[in-house]
Amino acid sequence: MKVVYLIGNGFDLNLGLKTSYSDFYTYYLNIKNNDPQIAQLKEHLKHDKDNKGKYRYWSDLEIAMGEYTKKFSRREDMEKVYNDLNDNLRDYIMKIEQDHIQSGIDKDKLKRDLAHPEKYLREIFKEDFRLYVKKWETLTYETCIISFNYTNTIEAILNMKDTDIINIGQTIYKRDNLLHSIIHIHGLANAPFIGLNDASQIGNELFRDDIDVQDFLLKPKINEAVGHLNDRRSLEYISQAGMIYLFGVSLGETDNLWWEAVGERLKRDCRIIYFVYNPDEHPRPNVLTRIRRKYKDFLLSKTKLTLEEKQAAFDRIFIVHNSNMFNLKKKQE
């Protein structure tokens, strides 16, 4: 059976890394640059943040950047500002990645969590999970991680090279669970990229059909230009997955391609465990069902499924709320 993880920034935040957009926001605004157009972008971001409150997600930056294209009349100026933003992101992530993450990190727990995320389900849902995966009880699991992060923290913790295949444990039916690949669909620290999902998110209508603008603003176009087939490989994995796990992802609009692909897979024989985290939610037993329903509806709202298809897919989604999944810091003695 093919198993797919879609892992976002919540993973790195669990490690204590300052990889949130708000962290980069502070860093970027403090970098001096005499170019007036770059200074105007920073003022726009600052003003936007003041209006919206605290930034939470990288998609906030990407959406703001798409809207800011309205300020440009020349493609060259737009690309210059974009390159400055992206270059500073590269410098910031490379600095963050140099921070120590190995000390006090529980490698074995990472493997256990990857091999058995179902352990965080409530007992009744564990039973549903077991009944579903029983059809693959004699098979080895082939696991792929699709990472939305610029860091290689998972590889570093597992000491995993590009071509490595790692046995991360056994399935509940005592078969091998092999981690085959980790795909970074937004690039790595030395060559990260931020961008939009599609041309409709380019705020300046004059540039929406400009192929050159699309080449540096749209994530699918950037992946295509890099030529590493990451998009194609990831979509293929998702289309064949029997289990999909979502962790640390905000389901932002600038990554709609992936949520829509997950939705397509839900039309067929697939189950999802969606790990959600909201420290402001402390659910009482009488509201647990309501909370699960809210997050299922939120995930399904990001797909292109019809109402009838969403209703059919609803019970194929398991919600895990505020769990200990991927909390890898070892307790101090």
- The count of structural domains within the chain is 1
Tell me if 117 is assigned to some domain.
yes
Residue 187: closest CA among 287, 87, 66 = 87
Inside any domain, residue 278: yes
In a domain, 151, yes or no: yes
Per cent of the chain over pLDDT 70 is 95
Band of residue 329 on the pLDDT scale cut at 50, 70, 90: confident
Q: Residue 260 pLDDT more than 80?
A: yes
**Neighbouring C-beta atoms of residue 200, cutoff 10 Å:** 11
Q: Which of 56-60, 184-188, 296-300 has the lowest average pLDDT? A: 56-60
Tell me: pLDDT of 220 over 60.
yes
Return d(Cα 149, Cα 10) in angstroms, integer. Answer: 9
Residue 118 lies in a domain: yes
Domain annotation covers residue 79: no
Q: Is residue 273 part of a domain?
A: yes
DSSP H or E run through 146? strand 141-147
324 vs 17: CA distance, rounded Å: 17
Mean pLDDT of the 94-109 span: 79
Tens digit of each residue's pLDDT (9 = 90 or more) over 36-45: 999 988 888 8
Residues 139 and 1 sit within 8 Å (Cβ to Cβ): yes
* Domain encompassing residue 126: 2-15+107-190+227-321
pLDDT in tens, 170-193: 999 999 999 999 999 998 888 888
Q: Does the structure show a pLDDT above 80 at 52?
A: no
Side chain identity at 149, as an amino acid letter? N
Q: Give the chain's mean pLDDT.
A: 90
316 within some domain: yes
Give the count of beta carbons closer than 10 Å to the beta carbon of residue 63: 19
In a domain, 98, yes or no: no
Average pLDDT for 108-117: 96
Q: What is the CATH number of the domain that holds 131?
A: 3.40.50
